[in-house]
Structure 1
């Protein structure tokens, strides 16, 4: 399986960013790591291996990006306003630097985004903030309400990065053309968040698939079963 390590400087973040890319061609799927995870996490935990066939056959090309969670949501040493601003810079890096490059490289108008646990939050929030750039959203074991990270702090940047808050009022025709899968499992502590997000989407008439695996909890065995199934829906 083709693996390509990339490192480059982000002008929005003012730092080098790292990424692993799997495959030579195929539909691009951007993978966000779990809480404070790194670009090599999905390789180390065996998730990439579960979709080897999709990659080697040229059906998908996977882009595993690094996070900056340690400087945003999990940076307890910083003021909440600074934390959310750092995430806004990460969002600009994604939407103005990384994703346009992937679109050009793969010659597509929209990409897929995915992630497990907190990576699922990143995937869903990016997709709903930038539906013109995302055609497929595949989450696994994610929670979507990030207010608990900020100790009661709230401003416009928090609102526009907290999907349960902004999605009921969001209007964009691209939502109705997106393939959306919300994945959870029977004993996943994030299951209520997925039911709540599904209810929001239902009330807006946005088509999606709520997939509840009838076994397992918030852990890698569930995500490794879900990910190849979800890729097959692209």
Structure 2
């Protein structure tokens, strides 16, 4: 088994924090230690061995964190405001520093699962409930979810949002997180044996809140012989982990399929319209003219058509700059449309140059040199009123950019549909397995 310890300075906590990494690939799992423990506790108490097959098999990659509980939750004699600041700083550390590190080390964009036992389960559930956009699910074992167990009757806004028994029942039924909760895997488990009283009490409150909100969470209660201790947590993680991974992988597959289905042909068409090296380099001011010339030569061998290519980008460059930088590559296809439109007239005969000049003043062979002189001295708009009308296709290029913006929204919208169609049967069935 690959194991390494990574230590880095946390900007949120202002101190060095260590993360133990087990495994090289698989679904990322962020594990919170028990109260006051450090990143070695999962290995020390046999939890890594309990998940060994999943780690060695490349099904999960485990990231175990250090805690700062001694300065926050456990410091009962300290200043409450300072204690809560440490708790919130740790939460921010997880979201802003640990999650990016996990994505980088895991080499994927998979949303991590969170897990923990005892106070670690409290951290795991709080992180998941507050940021379901960052995490795919949670396995919380024997957690206590009432912050007042550590703070008595004292409460402020920051502590409120670290106390699930307080903020979860007050969550509005139309809150956007409700939909996200139902597209995630939520498992809470507690025994009914020794030292499980607080976990049992608070899990029931959280369970009731989930039911009231219509959230399909699996809150399980094991027997009276199940104590608040490592041997039972090892059995519980072996029991729940396959289910959570299976559901996470299924949902991820649905998500990818939905994104592929709705990642429309519109962005693809937009790329085809723009899709030459000429449009990609059109962000530089000099490049478009160089790339436009070969396109004109392919359409019409007449070398005198090149000035038209120079004039047309000049006319298009100004509008693109006013809209946005990204609009420039989309506007560039208009330069191709113009050479092709110009090529449609010369096509009947090799004497393309005389016909091209016939669109201007009186037909004469000297009219072609005049075309070179006019763009050089006069503004593009004054030089060729006729091509400006032919530039009308350019507005069509802009709509091609807008669908790209809509595509992201479209990609998200189906995700919500997926939530609605995702079967809840498994979780509902398993929810009823309340006794062992």
Give the TM-score, by structure 1 length.
Answer: 0.96
The aligned counterpart of 2:212 is 203
The answer for unaligned runs of 5 or more in structure 2 is 246-436
The aligned counterpart of 1:119 is 120
Which structure has more strand as a fraction of its residues?
A: 1
The answer (yes or no) to whether the contact 1:32–1:67 under 8 Å persists in 2 is yes
- Give the drift of 1:109: 4.1
The aligned counterpart of 1:148 is 149
Alignment match of 1:179 (pick from 185, 201, 206):
185
Question: Hey, what's the Cα distance between the residues in 2 that align with 1:180 and 1:151?
Answer: 28
Alignment match of 2:222 (pick from 213, 218, 229):
213
The answer (yes or no) to whether the contact 2:73–2:87 under 8 Å persists in 1 is yes
Which residues in structure 2 correspond to 1:1-234 (within 5 Å)? 1-106=1-106, 107-170=108-171, 171=175, 172=177, 173-187=179-193, 188-189=196-197, 190-214=199-223, 215-233=225-243, 234=245
Runs of 4+ aligned residues of structure 1 deviating over 3 Å after TM superposition are: none
- Give the drift of 1:46: 0.5
Residue 211 of structure 1 aligns to a residue in which SS?
A: strand
Which structure has more helix as a fraction of its residues?
A: 2
C-alpha deviations, 1:147-201, integer Å up to 9, x for none? 1212322111011111111112332131121100001112122212212211110
Comparing 58-67 with 191-200, which one deviates more in the overlay? Answer: 191-200
Question: Hey, what's the Cα distance between the residues in 1 that align with 2:53 and 2:164?
Answer: 33
The count of residues paired between Structure 1 and Structure 2 equals: 234
- Give the drift of 1:36: 0.8
Question: Hey, what's the Cα distance between the residues in 2 that align with 1:98 and 1:48?
Answer: 20
Comparing 191-200 with 86-95, which one deviates more in the overlay? Answer: 191-200
Larger Rg: 2
Which gives a bigger RCO, structure 1 or 2 (Cα 8 Å, sep 6+)?
1
Residue 7 of structure 1 aligns to a residue in which SS?
A: strand
The answer (yes or no) to whether the contact 1:27–1:61 under 8 Å persists in 2 is yes
The answer (yes or no) to whether the contact 1:32–1:122 under 8 Å persists in 2 is yes
The aligned counterpart of 2:287 is none
Residue 168 of structure 1 aligns to a residue in which SS?
A: coil
The answer (yes or no) to whether the contact 1:139–1:181 under 8 Å persists in 2 is yes
RMSD: 1.2
The answer (yes or no) to whether the contact 1:91–1:126 under 8 Å persists in 2 is yes
Residue 123 of structure 1 aligns to a residue in which SS?
A: helix
The answer for unaligned runs of 5 or more in structure 1 is none
Comparing 205-214 with 62-71, which one deviates more in the overlay? Answer: 205-214
